[in-house]
Structures are given as structure tokens and as C-alpha cells.
Structure 1
Amino acid sequence: MSKCKYPILFLIVFVLGINNIFAQTASAVVTESLSLDDQRKFDYYFYNAMNSKSIEQYGATYDYLQYCMKIDSTNASVLFELGNFFNSIQNKDEAYTYYKKAANYDPDNFYYNMALAASYAERQEYKDAAAIYQKLINLNTSKIELYMYLSEVYRLDGDLNNSIQALNDLERTMGMNEKITIQKFKLYSALNDKKKAYAEVQKYIDKYPQEIRYYILLGNLYLQDGKTKEAYVALTKAKSIDPEDPYLITSMANYYQTIDDQPKAEAELRAALFSAKTDIDTKIGILSQYIGILQQNKQDLAPANALLDSLMIEFPQEAKFNLLYGNLLMVQDKKKEANFQYRVYAESDPTNPVGWEQLLQSTDVDSIDALIDVCKSAIVYLPEEPLFYFYLSVGEYQKKEFKQALQTLNRGIGFAENNPRLLSEFYGQKGSIYYELKQQDSAFIEFDKSLKYNPQNLGVLNNYSYYLSLTHKDLDRAENMSSITIKAEPTNPTYLDTYGWILFMQGAYTTAKIYLENAVKYSEEKEKEISAEVLEHYGDVLYMTDDKENAVIYWQKAKEKGSESKTLDKKIETKTFIAPNPIK
């Protein structure tokens, strides 16, 4: 049997619940031209759909909405809810289709139009999005968020003047606002109109001459613009108002850093960080801002390391510094050192999942035992956090402890019920385990469940399609699923190999060769170790495209990689392709 394909150890699980961003205001759904019997059925299914949604049973929600669609496919409420469902699982094309239909059937509905405008923006169809937002503003002049959305889509479309105009209209509606001012400053700067840019900030100083934050803001903007003399004047004025303001201290340190006066920069920071008057959270804020400035300016992070070392000596009981230091070390690609800091933080506050999650991120991918140890420790203190059960099962799976991995998933899956994307990962992992246990039918059932919660789960689509190809059945379905993965990641060697192999099994040898050749190519370009499977598959397609000499070379390379193929030795010996038997 060929080796199974499974997600890498540290795949990122994006925790995304299905949130209905635009709540409906209608209390009932009214359909037209339905018989009394159909209306009753429709109301029953829609009520159950909304009830399932309220208790976060999203699979049932989808099923009930499909029943509604069979009765009335033009109902805007149903179309909108289906759009929300697909949007939540990142199937943006389907979401857009349903939102557009909903807005077409109910063109004045605020929520449907908001969803459609957001979809237009995601598709980079900014003019269409702007038209909708402008229409909604005309109907809802007091909804301030509409002006912000309109300004943003104009900006994304490169129409900076109209972007500014939308913000000006917003200011007339709600009055002066700092966030609006900062955005207008950026837009004027992008238009190279510095005079108007700085005038936006100056109007706050003129109105509130004793408010320190506006001088700090002006100073920071001057620094970003390379105007160090003007920055110093603004920051000096701020210092005359409150010399101990923590944000002023950070800005002054940034100023000295900018003019290459490192001793004064550190002196400014130390004055605040080691002051008894500055609380821990403020110290953390100052340091975080300082680190951000160093990163933004692409400066050496060593001064931040030194400050954190000193702070942890001065305040050994404050584990928040360990968390911050761990984050800083991760940025510097010092995972081993970061791991130590995260462990200190996790053990100091063991019921906080952040420390354990960071420990997972910093654990060496080759250290399966360390991964398992972190997950088991986290579960002791956080027995209802599903993420740790999932990663524990991944570690057990890697150690080929399949039955134990399955038990772990079954223990944790109930805690993931409100998270469809994580549920998809659980079921996908169960599918891979059942396959390893030679329970093929159960594996495919779990894969189907996984894709129900997230039809775009690339790892599951790849595994499922590959396993189907090994059975020599449902090749059209396998090809369809695999094609989704290569559209999403066209240079992923594993996905290319799967798709190429399915095409090979369909007899499309010339096309298969293109994809399998790319699987080899991108493995080499990404300095990723080429698997024995990829090499053997490439040898197979070379043979079937009349390149028998090179086919044998690649079969031999596959053997050197430790292939477990039952036909490989015979192929090399006879220099002839031997089709694998279907797995049952």
C-alpha cells in the first residue's frame, strides 16, 4: 500500500464560528405564490433552520435551508442565510452568488445589500461595492459605518479624492474624530499633499491645546515622514504638558532611535519601564510599541531583548514579560528560547490557553513527544479546550498510535460543536485514522462529515481524493475534489502529485505528466524532501508516455527513498509498468 498522505504536524486551525453579521429585522418570512401546504412546510423548515443556527448546529441549519430552497428558491431570507453559511466556511464564490440573489429579490433590504457590498469588495469589484454603499447612505444618513466602508472601497479602487470626500461627509455627520483624521492624513500623504495632511492634525491641537496626545500624534507623523526637527518640536511641547506620559516616552525613544542616539533612546525607555509609578500593563504596552517601531524601521531588535532581560530580573514574578519575550524571540526565529519563555508563562497561569497555544507554536515540529506533553499538560487545566485534543491526536497519529488517537478525538470533539472549521479538522483527522486502521468505509464517512462543515478543507480534499484513487473508484469525484486543492495552492507538491495521479488513473497520461513533473519541480524548488510516492508516480507516467529509460531511473529513486510499494521491485526488475491493485 502507498503511504497515506496527511496534513503537516503544525497545520494552522483557523477558529472561525458562523456569525450572522447582519442580523435580520423581520420576525417572519413571507413567501408569495405558495399553496397553504407548501407555506406550512416552508415555515416549519425555516423555523428549524433558524433554531439550529441559534444553538450552533450548522450542519442541520444547512440541511433545513436546502429543504426551504426546494419549496421556494426565490425567497430572499433563505438565500441570505445560505450566503452567510458559505461565507462562514470561506466559500466566497458561493456566498457571493447567494447574497446577489437575495439582494435582487429584495433590493431595499439593508442587510442583504451590506452583505453583497462586502462580497463585491472581496472580489475587488470596488465600483459595484461603492454604488451599493452610496445607495445605502442615501437611505440611512445616520449610519456612520457606511461612510467608512465607502471611503475604504474608494481607496482600494485608487480613487483617493472620493475616499477623502466620504470621510469629510462622515465628519459633518458625527463631528471630529481622531481615526478619521489619521485616515485623511494618510490619504492626503498618498496624494502628496502634505500641507493638508498636517492641517488635519493641527486642527485638533488648535481646538485642544493642552491635550498631550495630539502633540504626540503630530510628532510621530513627522517622524514617519522623516521630519526629525519638526518631530522634536512637537514632542518637546508634549513633554511640557506631561513628561511622564508613557506614550510620549515611547515616542521620544523612537525619535532618538531615528537620529541614531541609542543611549538616549534607552534612557527614555528605562525611565518609564523601571519606574514604580508605571504599572505592568503600561510597561508591556510601552515595550510592545517600541518593538513594533523597531520592526517597522527594520532595526536591530537586540535593545528590546536587553530591556526584557533586565525587566525579568527586576520583576521576576511578572510572567507577562515572559510572554512578550517569547513573542519577540519568535520574531527572531529563536524558537527554542521562545519555547522556554512560553513554558514559564503557561505554568504561571495554567488556565489561560494563550500560554499553551504559544507553546504549541514554538515546539519543534520533529519533537512529537514534546507536542504530546504540551497537549496533555494543557488538557489537565483546560479540559474543555478542543484544540489541545486535536493536536494531541495529531501527535499520537504520527507515532502510529491510531486507536489512542481516535479515542483522543472522540474525547475532544464534543467541545468543538460551536466551531465548524475546527469540527471539519476533527472529522478529517478521524477519517485519516480509520483509513490507517483499514476501515475504508468509515474513513470516507468521516471525510464526508468533514467537508460538510468546511467544503474548502484542502487537507481533507487531498486525502479523500487520493484514497478514492487507490480504490480505482469514483475517479471523477476524486478529480473534482483534487482540482480544488491545486486551484488554491498551484505550487503545492503534494496536491500536484495527487491530482496528477488521479489523471493517470483516468488514463490522461499527457496531462498527468505535466502535474507530476511540477510536483517534482516544486519539491526541489522549495527544498522539500521529495516523497517516494511522487518519484514512483513520476516514473509511472514517464513509462506511459514512452520515456521508459527515465521511468526506471525514477523508480530506482523511489526505492532509495524507502518506498513501501508492493509493485516497485517488480517494475524495476522487468522495466515494465505494473498497475497497482485496487485497495479494498
Structure 2
Amino acid sequence: MNKRVIIRSRMMCWTLLRAACLMLFAFHFSSLPAVAQSSREFDQFFLEAMIQRQKGNNAAAFDLLRHCQELNPEAPEVYYFLAQYYSALKNTEKSVDCFKKAAALQPDNVTYMETLAQIYIRQQDFAQAIPVVEKIYERDKERLDLLEILFQLYQQVGRNDKAVEVLNRIEAIDGKSERISMAKSEIFTRQGNKKGAIAEIKALAQKYPNDLNYMALYAETMMMNGQVKKALKVYDQILQQEPDNNRVLMSLRTYHQALGHQTVADSLTERVLLNGNATSEERVHLLRQEIAACEQEGGDSTRVLQLFRKMLARPQSDEDMALLCASYMNAKQMPKDSISRVLEQALAIAPDNSMARLQLVGYAWEKEDMDRVVSLCQDARQYNPDEMAFYYYQGIAFYKQEKLDEALSAFKNGIGVIKDDSNPEIVSDFYAVMGDILHQQGQAEEAFAAYDSCLVWKEDNIGCLNNYAYYLSERGERLSKAEEMSYKTIKAEPKNSTYLDTYAWILYMEKRYAEAKIYIEQAVQNLDEKQDNSVILEHADKIKLKIKEE
């Protein structure tokens, strides 16, 4: 072959080879930047989505996240946040799908998995929630809270065998406890496995042989599962060691009640109520049961009152028993003097009990024993300084006794405890009576300021409107305001002679004598013979005289 041809052929081969290599390298190096660029673009858009989310621009964040999904369909974080937006948009199906996708793409992410489990539980899809929670627990076996959740979930789907397995897992970590043993025993009972139910509690009692409560629980479990004789034997053993064991006494009481052995049951009731081991809460609960039983049998209160008397004759740790007794006596409409004695006992134990004190104030008020009202309210200053009602009742009591300075002092002290959420009726009356007192003391401007405060709290306080209007008319001041206020009173009570007289007198002061005559005649027609009507009659004479002069 021609040497020049061979050389040219070799050169062509090298040229083609070099071109191929260049194309290969060009392809390789051009594809890497494209991937990197796509990743950078995703990162930029995702970061911007989070920024917009942080700013509260949820629509923009949502759109950016959907673009991120297009850029990288395998990014779990995108699905996690999209799921939240779909949830907000009430698109539950899409939201759940996104949460599933996030958890599937990154099953090691506890947040994703826990969120998915919560969603299943919220939807009551307990069967789906179980494997998710199990996976989370497999990664962190120190989390007892997950086992507690699994226990509940297995019960929800009727897998009691698996629920017991979970309890065994908890027990292996935490040790045997009453709560776990009781839970297992209850499951066995539901399954009809009486032996298993009893054995579980027996094991607990044997593990803690010095704890009589577990022995009592063992006996209760036997009683529930039909082994009555064995249960009674265990109860006897406990009472030999601790004769006043309330748990056993209450169980025996229930047992004898069920058999109709009422005398024995009543004896056990008194034994529980009067022994030193019972807490106040237990005694109150037991007495409530006795009251309910008594009402079912016809409502004879004799036995209940006997129990109360025996109880209250003993030292009390708190006022609960006395208050329950007073409440019962009140329901039975017993004499208020008798109820008062019990309430006094409650106050002696707990002088800061405002409910008992207010009830005593009410009884004293009904008897018009103002000295007693004043005394009770004065003591309340020490124990219930922020209770506005006591200042009010004390002020009114002093006012009824015509002790104006003391009454005014009580009301002024009460103003200091008025709050925005105070009872408007009481606050309004506070200021109304203050206004009356101040006016009687010749402090007209201060009285009018008090009336203004009264009407701020209750604009339709009729008594205040009448007095305010009348006192203004007496001074010949702001008569149009006085007329407006007085008119409200006769609209509210059109046959009230006092209010009609006030309105007539304001019209008289405004020199509207013909109108005044109409209303004063109505006032005279509606006179209350039990009241002093001299002022009304005097006004009537003056108005008639003025009409004649006209």
C-alpha cells in the first residue's frame, strides 16, 4: 500500500478517536453541572418556600413547594409540608397521601412517622397506626409512652392478646405494678379467663406481701370472679392485721348490701365513717351513698342525720362534712336555726369559707338581726378581704341601723375590691346607697357622682334614677336630665306612687303645671297606705294651688 495512504489512514483514525473522546468527555462534564444546577434550584426554591411560610405567606409557600415537588419528586420534606397545607385546605385525602409519602421516603424520621401515626389515630384507623408506632418503638425502645399507645391501639382493634404482650413489655422495663397487673387482670376477666385474672393479682400480692392493699385487691379480684369463700378468708386475714382497713370494710359492706344483710352493712358503714383511717373525701363519698339510698327508700332522714351527728361530734380535719350536713338539712327544709349551728361549726373549722359565711349572713338578714350581719361581715374582712358581698351587706346593715358614717365607710372599703367582672347589680347598688348616704350628709355633689357611677354599672337602676332625679329637682338643677331619668322610672313601674310623685314634682319645677297635675293625681290614687305619704300629699296641695293661681 502507498505509504502516504497508510499515514493518512492512521491520521484519520486518530482524528476520529480523538473526536469520539472529546464528545464523551463533553457529555460527561456537561451532565454533572446540570444535576448540580437542578439541586441548587431545588434548594433555592425550598428555602424560599420556608421563608414565605415563616412570613405567613402561605399561598406563595404552597406554590413554591409544589414547584419543588416537580423539581424533586423524592424529597420527603416537601411532602411533609405540602401535607400540612392540604390539611388546612380540608383536602384530607391528599394530606394523608403526602404524610404517607414523606414517611415512606424517610422512615427513619421520627417526626414524619409520629405525625402519620397521629393522623391514623385521629381518623380512628387504629389498624394502620399500629405498625407505624411499632416501627418508631423499634428505633427507640426507651420510650414507654409508645408502649402505652400501642396498648390502647391493640385494645381498640380487639387484639387483647397483643395488648397483654405490650403490658408484659412495659412490666419488663418498669417492673410489676398495680396499674399493669390490674390492666392485665381486667383483660383476662373480659376474655372469661378467671384463673388468669386472679393469678395476675395474686402474683402482685405475693411480690409485695407487706402491702395489705394488694392483698385486698387480690380478695376483690377473687370476689369478682366467683371465688367468694376464698375472698372472705383473705379479708379476715387482713382485718386481723388491720381492723380498720377501709378498703376491706367497704368491700364487705358492698358484699353484704348485695345479699340484703342491711344490718351488717349499716354496721360496716358506721365503722368506716368513725374509724381514724378514712379520709374526709372517703367519708363524704360514703355519706352521699347513704343519702342516695335513703332517698330511694322513701326519704326518711333519721338515720342519715344520726350519722351526721356522730360524725360531727368528732374532730374534723376540714369543713366538708359540716357543709354536706348543712346542704342536706337545707334540702330537707329543716329549721334554719339548726342549719345555722352546723354552718357555725363549718366556719369554726374554716373561717375563710365564704359560702358558709354568706349563708349565715342571709339567715341573719331574714331575721333582721343587723348586729349579727355586721359581725359576720366584719370577720370576713380578715378571711375574705376581696369578697365584695360582705362590704355590701355590712354597709346596708349599718344603713338600716342609721349609722351613716359606718355605712359609708363600709361601702368605700368595698369599692376598693370592685373588679371589671364584678356583679353589676351589686356594684350598682353599692354606689346607689352611697349616693343616698352622701346626700343625707349634705354632700350633694359627691352624691351625684356616686349616682353617676351607679348608672355606669346599671343604667336602669330604678331606685337610683328616682332619687337622683328628685334631688336634682329639689335643687332646680339639670331639670331636663332629671325629667328624662324620672320618666324611665314611671315607664318601668307606672303605678309606683313615689316615682309618679317625683315625675310630677319635676314637671312642677319646670312650670308645666297641667302635666304635673295629671301625674300627681295618679300618685295619690296609688298611695301605699303602709308608707309615710306626707311628702306626696304636700306636693299635691302645692300643684293644685298653682293650678288655681293660673
- TM-score, normalised to structure 1, is 0.41
Max Rg structure:
2
